[in-house]
């Protein structure tokens, strides 16, 4: 009887721990989790196309602006942009207008205005007239 | 009545624009998330916390993929609560989850970069003392992505040390033709001797790299070095009009993929775009321009070969560590894989046929490249009897080990100091991550973190905006947390999305004699809806639809677990104890069934959306 009670307790305890043990495990391999998925499924990397890419750039830039105090490290920022573009099948993100529109939207969302905005626009756009215009377009497109 | 009033108060208390986010509870099954899982969905994005390397990390996933993964492949029933909130509340919550995701992502990348510095510094230190041969193999994170498209490791070491890759990628003529043109255009735009000048510039930059770092958030030494090296190699490819390596591309032969004049024009236009990109990248200030240039010129070569031969040639986009299906599994899952093969062929045909309809940009070409790679992989699997199943990349990443063509001029003392600083940085970053994201079964798991994030986003307004504050310290179990959401938040609607097997079962019950269906489908021996998946531990009975018989079935499943464990014990010298571990897991998962708690549902390894029923498709 004693053994049976202990066994019941063990099973109940084990069940409790297993029930608690929620949470999926993430893929251990970075490259596989970064890949566009199984050979069978629709490639989510491309779903939503440019709009999704622009939205990712906006969210990433906004988070970057929010978590960076003082001077912005542009190489570090650009490295992150490359990672986002890479997942969407874009290698030359500097020639993609959606990159700079996304940055413009993030600047607006972060409520950056005046001289500060102009400085960011110039730096993110590398003083290039086309890129700065695209940043402005993104900025103006937000309410 | 109380719930109705809460819902009304929340909606009236906020703006007139209402919106809905979903709280998802995913039922338990064997394997990861054995106690169930939770997530929140805003539009097309699902956010959920997953366990990784002892930490609990926020992941963002496409809703369609998430539901397919859990509901179909993992065969779990999903419970979806539609939570009605104002548009303003929706935006605050969505923005907060996004913000946390990107901030966390950056923190993890900083740690990765710091570790990468350590590998590089140790490698450089070795290069001061060791023979060149011992430098050749570096850590995976230090490899040069993209460089493997044009170079083999053997190009920088004696062939005897490394095996040469084999393949039928022959691109000498197209590479010569297109890269000579590119070289001429670069000379025209940036002056003659441009390539030489740029190479000297990069070599000097490498030699004068500083070993010191400016804090943990800097663009770090290892990234600078690998980026500069990649730039140097990309310029060398252009200078030498180098062809792709023999295993870097493949041709889709046969009648499929015929290029008519309209499609040819689209490809010509794309080639012009890529030529312009290559010229821009060669003088770009972005740190990783070398990798981007390698990808661009590899595609230029593949396109040139396509245009010259009239047959599609694509760069291979599978990563080196792609998941491979072995011959044994190819046979065992022939039906499921057959469906996927058909789909790959159909998608490829649809894509190249529609090519003439729209202008082709780089992103579209990447998609075409991925589709072609998938289809080609199926074609070659006939002879090879194996299949690379997972690991495709939207941009090719074929990598090589670090070549020793140019090294930074560090003294041993500088390297030792930098290594010391790197160890401190790594320790600091690790501690920060541990402090913020360490997993704990009771206090910091995927449930607590979802509520913590929601409460953090809305702050003091949580009660007003959501009708309740769900305490993350008291709600730690997926199942009970869902009940709390139902009771507390303004839930408009609950949808239960049955698992793949349950859905198929319901259909069989409608069409056949139910007791017969039950008897047949209750166990894995006679079931028509389940073929044994080696990822599942041994079991005999499904227990998700057998409440009364669950302890009996659980006892039999436990015996199966014991049997697999014993078999695994015998086999352990040959499989490093893998089967033993699986058997033990099976036993562990079957024991709760003795107490009427369901775990074992089985899972599906190779189902595709097409082989699942239409109603079972993601998003339904």
Closest CA relative to residue B568, chosen from B582, B549, B585, B551: B582
- The average pLDDT across B467-493 equals 92
Structure tokens at B528: 């028509």
Q: Is the pLDDT of residue B593 over 90?
A: no
What sign for the dihedral angle of Cα B326, B330, B333, B337?
A: positive
Predicted confidence at residue B440, as pLDDT, reads 85
In this structure, chain A runs to a length of 143
Mean pLDDT of B107-121: 92
Residues forming beta bridges with residue B325, ordered by sequence position: B387
- ipTM, interface predicted TM-score of the complex: 0.88
Q: Which residue of A has its CA nearest to B106?
A: A80
Which H helix or E strand runs over B204?
A: helix B194-207
CB atoms within 10 A of CB B71: 25
Residue B229 binned pLDDT confidence (cut-offs 50, 70, 90): very high
Mean of pLDDT over chain A = 79
Q: Does residue B80 surpass a pLDDT of 70?
A: yes
Question: Is the Cβ of B91 closer than 8 Å to some Cβ of chain A?
Answer: no
- Report residue B602's pLDDT band, with 50, 70 and 90 as the boundaries: confident
- Residues forming beta bridges with residue B314, ordered by sequence position: B250
Neighbouring CB atoms inside 10 A of B100's CB total 18
Residue-level pLDDT at B166 = 78
Contacts of A90 in chain B (CB under 8 A): 362-363, 366, 395
Residue B463 in this model has a pLDDT that exceeds 90: yes
In terms of C-beta distances under 8 Å and separation of at least 24 residues, what long-range contacts does B210-214 make, across chains too?
B211/B121, B211/B408, B211/B410, B211/B414, B211/B415, B211/B417, B211/B418, B212/B418, B212/B421, B213/B117, B213/B418, B213/B421, B213/B422, B213/B425
Q: Locate the chain A residue with the closest alpha carbon to B214.
A: A73
Report the residue of chain A nearest B39, measured CA to CA: A23
**To the nearest whole angstrom, how far is the Cα of B121 from the nearest Cα of chain A?**
20
DSSP string covering B55-122 = EEEEEEEEHHHHHIIIIIIS---EEEEEEEEEHHHHHHHHHHHHHHHHHHHHHHHHHHHHHHHHHHHH
d(CA B426, CA B414): 18
The predicted pLDDT at position B4 comes to 52
Which residues neighbour B584 within 8 Å (Cβ) at sequence distance 6 or greater?
B561, B565, B568
* Alpha-carbon span B175 to B308, nearest angstrom: 11
CA distance B76 to B471: 26
Q: Which of residues 28-47 of B touch A (CB under 8 A)?
A: 28, 32-38, 44
pLDDT > 90 in chain B, percent: 57
Long-range contacts of B1-10 (CB under 8 A, 24+ apart): B3/B487, B3/B491, B6/B467, B6/B468, B6/B490, B7/B84, B7/B467, B7/B490, B7/B491, B7/B492, B9/B467, B10/B84, B10/B85, B10/B86, B10/B464, B10/B465, B10/B466, B10/B467, B10/B490
Q: How far apart are CA B65 and CA A43, in angstroms?
A: 9
Specify the pLDDT at position A34.
40
Q: Over the range B35-63, which residues count as b (16 or more CB within 10 Å of their CB) and which as e?
A: bbbbbbbbebbbbbbbbbeebbbbbbbbb
Write down the residue that tokens 């106690």 correspond to. B35
Whether residue B619 is predicted with pLDDT greater than 50 in this model: the reply is no
- Answer yes or no: do B591 and A26 touch at CB < 8 A: no
Confidence category of residue B589, pLDDT binned at 50, 70, 90 = confident
**Smallest Cβ distance to A23: which of B37, B393, B595?**
B37
Euclidean distance between CA atoms A69 and B96, whole angstroms = 19
Q: Is residue B395 over pLDDT 90?
A: yes
| CB proximity A22 to B under 8 Å | yes
Q: Is the dihedral of CA B101, B107, B113, B119 positive or negative?
A: negative
* Contact assignment for A42 to B64 by CB distance below 8 Å: yes
| Interface mutation vs chain B, best among A52, A71, A92, most B CBs within 10 Å | A92
A39 touches chain B (CB under 8 A): yes
Which residue from B198, B195, B170 is spatially nearest to B180, judged by alpha carbons? B195
Q: For residues A76 and B107, is the Cβ–Cβ distance under 8 A?
A: no
CA angle A26/B46/B63 to nearest 5° reads: 100
CB B451 within 8 A of CB B466: no
Q: Which of residues 420-439 of B touch A (CB under 8 A)?
A: 439
CB-CB neighbors (< 8 A) of B365 in chain A: 89
Q: Which of B321, B397, B445 sits opposite A22 (nearest CB)?
A: B445
Q: What is the pLDDT of residue B134?
A: 53
Q: Distance between alpha carbon B141 and the CA centroid of its chain, in Å?
A: 16
Q: What is the mean pLDDT of residues B468-481?
A: 89
- Checking if the pLDDT of B259 tops 90, the result is no
pLDDT at B15 over 50: no
Would the CB atoms of A26 and B102 count as touching at under 8 Å? Answer: no
pLDDT at B217: 63
Mutate to test the interface with A, among B54, B342, B362 (most CBs of A within 10 A): B362
CA–CA separation, B494 and B491 (whole Å): 7
Whether pLDDT at A36 is above 60:
no
> What's the gap between Cα B56 and its chain centre?
17
DSSP string, B482-508: HHHHHHHS-EEEEEEE--HHHHHHHHH
Q: In the numeric block, which tokens belong to residue A22?
A: 């929620």
CB contact under 8 A, A79 and B287: yes
Of B183, B206, B205, nearest to B195 by C-alpha is B183
Answer yes or no: are the C-beta atoms of B275 and B185 closer than 8 Å.
yes
Tokens found for residue A62: 């906004």
Distance CA B229, CA B604 (A): 44
Most A CBs within 10 Å, among B106, B293, B535, to test the A interface: B106
Residue numbers in A near B52 (CB within 8 A) = 25-26, 28
Instruction: Decide if A62 contacts A106 (C-beta within 8 A).
Output: yes
Answer yes or no: is pLDDT of B6 > 60: no
Which residues are CB-contacts of B340 (< 8 A; sequence separation ≥ 6)? Answer: A39, A40, B378, B606, B608, B610, B611
Per-residue model confidence (pLDDT) at position A29: 34
Q: What is the mean pLDDT of chain B?
A: 88
DSSP secondary structure letter of residue B438? B
Q: In this structure, what DSSP letter does residue B590 have? A: H
pLDDT at A2: 46
Gap from B168 CA to chain A (nearest CA, Å): 22
Cα gap B471→B452, rounded to integer Å: 8
Q: With 0-12 CB in 10 A as exposed, 13-18 as middle and 19+ as buried, what is A30?
A: middle
Q: With 0-12 CB in 10 A as exposed, 13-18 as middle and 19+ as buried, what is B229?
A: buried
What values do phi and psi take at B511, rounded to 5?
Answer: -95, -20
- For residue range B139-195, what is the model confidence (pLDDT) as tens digits? 778 899 999 999 999 898 755 555 667 788 999 999 999 999 999 999 999 999 999
Q: B35 vs A75: CB contact, 8 Å cut-off?
A: no
| B36: chain A residues, CB-CB within 8 Å | 19, 22
pLDDT digits (tens, 9 = 90+) for B43-76: 999 999 998 888 999 999 999 999 999 999 999 9
**Tokens 């792709």 identify what position?**
B244
Which among A37, A67, A81 is the nearest to B103, CB-wise? A67
Q: Please state at what angle helix B362-384 crosses helix B261-281, rounded to 10 degrees.
A: 110
Amino acid B534: pLDDT: 83
Verify whether the Cβ–Cβ distance A59 to B68 is below 8 Å: no
Question: What pLDDT was estimated at residue B35?
Answer: 78
Average pLDDT over residues B2-26: 66
Q: Answer whether B32's CB lies under 8 Å from B40's CB.
A: no
Residue B394 has pLDDT above 90, yes or no: yes
Instruction: Tell me whether residues B608 and A67 touch, CB distance under 8 A.
Output: no
Q: Given this model, what pLDDT does residue B168 score?
A: 87
A35·B439 Cβ contact <8 A: no
Q: What sign does the dihedral B297-B299-B303-B306 (CA atoms) show?
A: positive
Which residue in A5, A24, A105 has the most chain B C-beta atoms within 10 A of its own C-beta, making it the best mutation to test that interface?
Answer: A24
Whether B574 shows a pLDDT value over 60: the answer reads: yes
At B404-422, the pLDDT tens digits run 888 899 888 999 999 999 9
SS3 for B269-320 is HHHHHHHHHHHHHCCCCCCCHHHHHHHHHHHHHHHHHHHHHCCEEEECCEEE
Phi-psi region of A97 (alpha: psi -120 to 50; beta: other; left: phi over 0): alpha
- The pLDDT of B361-365, averaged and rounded, is 93
Nearest residue of chain A to residue B296 (CA atoms): A91
Backbone φ, ψ for residue B251 (5° rounding) = -110, 135
CA-nearest residue of chain A to B449?
A23
Q: Give A-chain residues touching B276 at CB under 8 angstroms.
A: 95
Per mean pLDDT, which range of A34-38, B228-232, B353-357 is the poorest? A34-38
Q: Where is average pLDDT lowest: A113-127, B99-113, B215-229?
A: B215-229
Residues of A in contact with B32 (CB under 8 A): 23-25
pLDDT by residue (tens digit) across B506-532? 999 999 999 999 999 999 999 999 988
pLDDT at residue B313 in the model = 94
Distance, in Å, from the CA atom of B340 to the CA atom of B323, rounded to the nearest integer, reads 16
Question: How confident is residue B587, by pLDDT bands cut at 50, 70 and 90?
Answer: confident
What confidence tier does B549 reach under pLDDT thresholds 50, 70, 90? Answer: confident
Average pLDDT over residues B237-245: 97
């Amino acid at each position: 009887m004693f053994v049976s009670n202990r066994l019941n307790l063990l099973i109940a305890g084990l069940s409790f721990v297993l029930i608690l043990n929620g949470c999926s495990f993430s893929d251990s391999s970075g490259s596989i989790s970064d890949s566009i998925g199984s050979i069978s499924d629709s490639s989510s990397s491309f779903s939503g196309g440019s709009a999704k890419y622009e939205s990712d750039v906006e969210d990433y830039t906004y988070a970057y602006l929010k978590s960076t105090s003082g001077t912005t490290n542009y190489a570090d920022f650009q490295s992150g942009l490359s990672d986002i573009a890479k997942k969407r099948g874009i290698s030359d993100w500097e020639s993609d207008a959606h990159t700079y529109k996304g940055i413009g939207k993030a600047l607006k969302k972060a409520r950056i205005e005046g001289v500060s905005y102009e400085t960011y626009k110039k730096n993110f756009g590398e003083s290039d007239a086309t890129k700065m215009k695209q940043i402005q377009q993104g900025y103006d497109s937000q309410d | 009545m109380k719930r109705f009033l809460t819902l009304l108060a929340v909606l009236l208390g906020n703006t007139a624009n209402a919106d809905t986010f979903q709280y998802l509870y995913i039922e338990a099954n064997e394997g990861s998330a054995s106690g169930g899982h939770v997530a929140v969905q805003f539009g097309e994005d699902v956010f959920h916390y997953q366990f990784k390397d002892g930490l609990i990390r926020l992941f963002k996933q496409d809703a369609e993929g998430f539901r397919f993964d859990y509901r179909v492949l993992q065969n779990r029933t999903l419970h979806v609560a539609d939570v009605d909130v104002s548009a303003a509340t929706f935006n605050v919550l969505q923005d907060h989850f996004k913000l946390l995701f990107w901030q966390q992502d950056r923190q993890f990348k900083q740690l990765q970069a710091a570790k990468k510095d350590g590998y590089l510094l140790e490698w450089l230190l070795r290069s001061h003392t060791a023979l060149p041969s011992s430098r050749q193999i570096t850590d995976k994170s230090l490899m040069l992505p993209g460089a493997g498209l044009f170079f083999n490791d053997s190009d920088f070491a004696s062939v005897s040390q490394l095996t040469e890759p084999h393949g039928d990628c022959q691109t000498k003529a197209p590479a010569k033709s297109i890269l000579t043109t590119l070289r001429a255009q670069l000379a025209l735009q940036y002056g003659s001797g441009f390539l030489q000048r740029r190479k000297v510039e990069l070599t000097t930059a490498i030699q004068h790299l500083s070993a010191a770092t400016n804090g943990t958030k800097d663009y770090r030494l290892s990234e600078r070095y690998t980026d500069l090296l990649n730039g140097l190699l990309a310029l060398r490819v252009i200078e030498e009009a180098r062809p792709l390596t023999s295993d870097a591309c493949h041709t889709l032969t046969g009648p499929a993929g015929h290029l008519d004049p309209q499609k040819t024009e689209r490809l010509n236009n794309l080639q012009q775009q890529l030529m312009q990109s290559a010229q821009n990248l060669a003088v770009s200030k972005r740190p990783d321009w070398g990798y981007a240039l390698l990808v661009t010129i590899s595609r230029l070569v593949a396109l040139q070969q396509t245009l010259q031969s009239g047959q599609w040639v694509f760069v291979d986009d599978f990563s080196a560590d792609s998941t491979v299906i072995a011959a044994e599994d190819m046979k065992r899952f022939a039906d499921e894989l057959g469906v996927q093969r058909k789909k790959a062929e159909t998608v490829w045909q649809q894509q190249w046929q529609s090519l003439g309809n729209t202008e082709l940009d780089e992103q579209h070409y990447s998609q075409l490249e991925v589709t072609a790679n998938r289809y080609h992989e199926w074609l070659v699997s006939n002879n090879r009897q194996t299949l690379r199943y997972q690991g495709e990349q939207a941009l090719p990443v074929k990598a090589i080990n670090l070549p020793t063509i140019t090294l930074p001029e560090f003294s041993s003392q500088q390297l030792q100091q930098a290594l010391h600083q790197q160890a401190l940085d790594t320790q600091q970053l690790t501690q920060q991550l541990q402090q913020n994201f360490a997993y704990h079964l009771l206090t910091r798991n995927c449930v607590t973190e979802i509520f913590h994030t929601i409460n953090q986003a809305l702050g003091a307004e949580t009660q007003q905006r959501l009708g309740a504050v769900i305490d993350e310290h008291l709600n730690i179990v997926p199942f009970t947390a869902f009940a709390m959401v139902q009771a507390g938040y303004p839930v408009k609607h609950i949808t239960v999305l049955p698992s793949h097997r349950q859905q198929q079962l319901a259909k069989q019950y409608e069409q056949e004699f139910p007791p017969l269906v039950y008897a047949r489908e209750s166990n894995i021996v006679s079931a028509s809806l389940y073929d044994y998946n080696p990822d599942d531990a041994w079991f005999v009975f499904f227990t998700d639809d057998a409440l009364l018989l669950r302890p009996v079935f659980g006892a039999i499943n436990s015996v199966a677990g014991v049997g697999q464990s014993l078999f695994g014990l015998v086999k352990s010298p040959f499989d490093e104890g893998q089967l033993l571990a699986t058997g033990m897991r099976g036993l562990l998962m079957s024991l709760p069934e003795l107490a009427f708690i369901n775990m074992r549902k089985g899972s599906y390894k190779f189902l595709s959306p097409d082989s699942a029923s239409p109603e079972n498709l993601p998003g339904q």
